Amino acid sequence: MRKFFIKIGVIISAAAGLLLWFQNDARVLAGARPLGMDDSSGWTAANTHNPDVMDTLEAANTSMLRVEIPWEMVEKSPGAFSWRFESAYGSIDLEQVFRRLQRRGIEPVAVLSGGPVYLSHLYPQQPVYRDQLLESFARFAHAAAEQFGEDVDYWQIGTVLNDPNSWGEMLFPGEKEPQAEPDPILYSEILQTTYHAIKDQDARSSILAGDLVFSADCSLHPNQYLRMLNEQGAWYAVDIVNIRIHVLDQAPESAIIDICANLPSHPSGIALADSIAVVSEQIEKLGEKTLWVQGLQFDTTLLAEHASIRSTIPEVISSDLLTRASALLRAYGRADRIFWTFDPLNNTPGLLALQTYANLSSSLGGRFDDSGLLESREAFILRFRGSGKLNMVAWYTQVGDDAQAMHINGLENYDMRAFSADSDSLKSKHGIHLPIKNDGSTALMVSERPVLISGHPADIKQTITQRVEESAAQASAGMQTKFNHWLQAKKAKAAAKLGGWVAEQQASLLNSLQTSLEDWLRERLGIV
């Protein structure tokens, strides 16, 4: 056993070196939690000076917060930037906002929103001139990156891209509720100019495309929009793709967000998740990027109706539905990160849901492993593996709070405990120990209130081995992400012939590095 721990120490040291080498992407993949908060209202940014607000975010284990930088407020005349301005909720000092978030361990995502109010336009006939918009956006992005580059590593270019209302705010800034036909060709130029403006300041920064939504206009479907960006040669300038979903007015197992009837190659039968999975598959075809889902929340009328049926309060329903939606989007939607709407003035999410959020942040971070999805679509057991642990989320959809027995298999040699999704913590003392039978099965009572089931192999050697293997896999994925981003930027500048040769050679090198690392780890651990 002593020799085993010595080997583990050597391997962990080597893995730490690799993580430092590929600091940016490997760090994100190895340590990232799968949930974030979306401050679209701007209330949080205006109140980060309040310790209670920051304490709430930190206590909820918040890893990321989206904060808008409204163009029309920070650059009212060309080149004259002021990063402090008055909002509907009070004074916002962006420098202080980003600094306070980082001090609390919360990664800010800066959203460059709005448009240049100083450029000439006449609504609805004449939008701002294309060349002036491109030049101004590049200056705006460069100035923001120069000012906040030490505290911000994630930059979103624009808000909702395929919606006439949001796009109109960029082309007719300052007008009241302007509309404009979305233009993927123009946006591809914006994306490329801002990409280079930001990357010139900090090459490690990640660039997020603006949000894409599902609408009745299938010609503006997110997949169609992404294809057009790729056709314009702008795919290299995207590190992360954003899908924004509207407020859900149905339970997550029955909610429909895309009426264009697109299905992934292996549909789960859950429309909410399948709609996101369709976009995930499109991303894989164009060249793998990270996929985030924004704006998760449920309609207050729906919460009240379900609360009345179950004789409980809306906060309980909100906690339950957010848990189920997050698990489904991670498992079947293949979303890498899910942002909940954070709007404290409207109690969104409530206190119970915030505690649930904290628990899910540490439970849904691994890779989706398996499911106990029944043909009836009335029972779910979703499994996630990561950090040497097995985490599961289990619930029924039609039984209210009348718990029914649920049988779970495949737990041989595991030590498992069950928790309420909104448990005070996931420490052992707050959970119920689940006895595992010789055949690797167990049973527990489950209702519409999701149950978190968490555990690790009973054998300590197996636990450590599994954790090291998973860390190595994450580091390897970080290598590939870093190389992919670098290659795409280089290919965009290189001649087609030379670019293809570079891609082939670098891909070969990456595969060799990854294979060598995995073989070395297995040899050292004695894994066949």
In this prediction, residue 427 carries a pLDDT of: 87
**pTM, whole model, 2 decimals?**
0.85
In this prediction, residue 526 carries a pLDDT of: 57
Structure-block tokens of residue 323: 């848990």
Q: What count of residues does the chain have? A: 528
Q: What backbone torsions phi and psi does residue 202 show, to the nearest 5 degrees?
A: -150, 105
391 forms bridges with which residues in the sheet? 384, 454
Domain spans in the chain, listed from the N-terminal domain onward? 1-31, 33-364, 379-457
DSSP code, position 239: S
In this prediction, residue 194 carries a pLDDT of: 97
What torsion do the CA atoms of 12, 15, 21, 26 make, to the nearest 10 degrees?
Answer: -110
Question: Cα(394)–Cα(363) distance, rounded to whole angstroms?
Answer: 12
Structure-block tokens of residue 356: 């649930």
Q: What backbone torsions phi and psi does residue 48 show, to the nearest 5 degrees?
A: -70, -15
Of the candidates 148, 175, 150, the one whose C-alpha atom is nearest the C-alpha of residue 164 is 175
Q: Do domains 33-364 and 379-457 have the same CATH topology?
A: no
Question: Mind listing the pLDDT tens digit of every residue in the chain (528 residues)?
Answer: 555 555 555 555 554 454 444 444 433 443 468 999 999 999 999 999 999 999 999 999 999 999 999 999 999 999 999 999 999 999 999 999 999 999 999 999 999 999 999 999 999 999 999 999 999 999 999 999 999 999 999 999 999 999 999 999 999 999 999 999 999 999 999 999 999 999 999 989 999 999 999 999 999 999 999 999 999 999 999 999 999 999 999 999 999 999 998 999 999 999 999 999 999 999 999 998 999 999 999 999 999 999 999 999 999 999 999 999 999 999 999 999 999 999 999 999 999 999 999 999 989 988 898 776 655 578 999 999 887 889 999 999 988 889 999 999 989 989 999 999 999 988 888 899 999 999 999 999 999 999 999 998 865 555 455 455 555 545 545 555 555 555 555 544 553 344 444 445 445 545 554 555 555 455 555 555
Of the candidates 417, 424, 365, the one whose C-alpha atom is nearest the C-alpha of residue 394 is 417
Angle at 517 between CA 514 and CA 523, to 5 degrees: 140
Question: Cα(118)–Cα(142) distance, rounded to whole angstroms?
Answer: 18
244 forms bridges with which residues in the sheet? 294
Q: Which CATH architecture has domain 379-457?
A: Sandwich (2.60)
- According to CATH, the topology of domain 33-364 is TIM Barrel (3.20.20)
Please give the helix or strand (H or E) that residue 408 lies within, else none.
strand 404-408
Of the candidates 390, 426, 394, the one whose C-alpha atom is nearest the C-alpha of residue 410 is 390
